[in-house]
Structure 1
Amino acid sequence: MISRYSFTALLLLILGLHSDPARALCWTTPENLYATVGNMNFSVTAPLPIPIGGLLVDRRVNFVSEPTLICNTRSTVRLVAANEGGLVPGNGPGRYLTSIPGVELEIGFGYTPDTVISMHTGWETTLNVWQTVSAPRTIIMRMIRTGSHVARAGHVDIVGYTAQLRDGANVIQTFEINGRFTFSQDVLLMSCTADRRETTVPMGTTSIASLRAGNSPVRSYALDIGCEGGAPDAPPPVKISFVGDTTPDGILRLSDLPGSASGVGIAVTSADAKPLPFSDRSRALDLTWLEKVNGIDHYRFEGRAQYVSIPGAGEPKAGRADAVMTYVLDYN
Structure 2
Amino acid sequence: MFKRTLIAASLTVAALASAQAMAVTGGGASLPAALYKGSANSILPANFSYAVTGSGIGKSAFLTNTASQFGTTGTVHFAGSDSILSATEISTYNANFGASFGPLIQLPSVATSVAIPYKKAGNTTLNLTSAQLCDAFSGTATTWGALLGTADATPIRIVYRNVSSGTSEILSRHLNSICPTKFAVNSTFTNARLPAGSTLPSNWVGVAETADVAPTVNLVDGSIGYVGPDGVNATSNAVVARVNGVQPTPANVTAALSSAPLPTVPSNPTQWVPVVANPASGYPIAAYTNFIFGQCYKDAAVANDVRAFLTTHYSVPGNTVATVAHGFSVVPTNWKNAVTANFITNTTGNNLNINNASVCNAIGRPL
Give yes or no for TM over 0.5. no
Whose strand fraction is larger, Structure 1's or Structure 2's?
A: 1
Whose helix fraction is larger, Structure 1's or Structure 2's?
A: 2
TM-score interval (norm. to shorter): under 0.3
Higher relative contact order (CA 8 A, sep 6+): 2
